[in-house]
Amino acid sequence: MTITVTGVSKAFGGVTAVDDVTFTLKENRVYGLLGRNGAGKTTLMQLLTGQLFRTAGDISVFGADPVENEAVLTRMCFIKESQRYPDQFQVRHVLASAAMLYPNWDADFAAALLADFALPTNRRVKKLSRGMLSALGVIVGLAARAPVTLFDEPYLGLDAVARQLFYDRLLADVAEHPRTVVLSTHLIDEVADLLEHVIVMDRGRIVLDREADALRGEAALLTGPSGVVDELTADLDVLHLERLGAIARVTVRGVLDRDTRDDAAARGVTVEPATLQQLFVRLTTQSAAGPQRAPQKEATR
Ligand SMILES: Nc1ncnc2c1ncn2[C@@H]1O[C@H](COP(=O)(O)OP(=O)(O)OP(=O)(O)O)[C@@H](O)[C@H]1O
């Protein structure tokens, strides 16, 4: 296990940003850390990288506590939007510093990424556009090849083409140089194919911790005449229910058996797997709003 987190909490005054979380991160896997705004993702990543002191619990990274532990921290790279650089720094200075900081730094890869993202090496960081600043973070995070790399919403400001470039380069590079990557993002469907494991946080707690492959069959979406859908889902674990006139759209946990699927099709109900994004929305809104099955109520969303 690369990272083991046991019963970790972090409170800021009266706000419990991370609330008694326990999980492990394995070597050489790509994790998605998902959660709504304020769920605690950034705080958790700061705890993992020793940038914050926890209020309770234990964190072990490569077998040691990351706090003020240089041997551990040089093997971790944390890319966050709020990264600050000295005023005079140009892009090339950032890359030169990263080269000194990260033992696995690959200068050729960094140069190739600079060209990919069309980033001018002599421009002052202060003068970069928001997207260029994100690209700089992405380049450092990738070329560092740190055994544990954390990207906290690295795409802010990146356009769709640049984001795809990031996903493509990340996928290709981890295949060639396996490492543990934690990607915090709101653009779930964009990264769904990239993720091997998904951790969902909601109000400081972990509400889902699952292999991505297992998740793909985790929920199904039934759409059709309300009465039939209600009947078919009566005994199922309903995550979400929407009604539009006489049509109901229900997300249920689990995979429907063949007979139910055939029965549904014969009665005009379509059944499709829920996407990761749909499952995420259902799980996080469900825990915020309580159980969703309220057959007589019109959906508000
Ligand atoms: N330094 C701080 N002082 C006080 N409260 C904080 C501090 N840092 C974070 N919080 C609070 O902790 C909670 C979790 O914040 P955090 O930034 O970890 O969430 P997040 O999941 O990264 O959110 P987002 O997706 O919006 O970036 C929020 O309620 C936030 O206001």
178-193 pLDDT tens trace: 999 999 988 888 898 8
d(CA 167, CA 58): 32
Domain ranges of the chain: 3-215, 217-289
Task: Tell me the sheet residues that pair with 8.
Answer: 21
d(CA 211, CA 194): 12
Mutating to test ligand 1, I would choose from 19, 34, 36, 42 the residue with most ligand atoms within 8 A of its C-beta, which is 42
Helix (H) or strand (E) run with residue 239 in it: strand 238-244
CATH code reported for the domain at 3-215: 3.40.50.300
Q: Whose CA is nearest to atom 5 of ligand 1?
A: 12
pLDDT of residue 17: 97
Tens-place pLDDT, residues 72-108: 999 999 999 778 888 899 999 999 999 999 999 999 9
Q: Whose CA is nearest to atom 11 of ligand 1?
A: 17
Mutating to test ligand 1, I would choose from 8, 9, 12 the residue with most ligand atoms within 8 A of its C-beta, which is 12
* pTM over 0.90, yes/no: no
Q: Which residues contact 301 (CB under 8 A, 6 or more apart)?
A: 242
DSSP summary character for residue 53:
-
Could you confirm whether domain 217-289 is CATH 3.10.450?
A: no
Please give the sequence-ordered ranges of beta strands (E in DSSP) within the chain, or none if there are none.
3-12, 15-25, 30-35, 56-61, 76-80, 148-152, 180-184, 197-202, 205-211, 219-225, 238-244, 247-253, 270-273
Tens-place pLDDT, residues 213-242: 888 778 899 999 999 999 999 999 898 899
CA nearest to 201, candidates 18, 11, 70: 18
d(CA 226, CA 248): 5
d(CA 61, CA 39): 22
The answer to whether the CB of 42 is under 6 A from ligand 1 is yes
Tell me how far the alpha carbon of residue 43 lies from the centroid of ligand 1, in angstroms: 6
Tens-place pLDDT, residues 124-144: 999 999 999 999 999 999 999
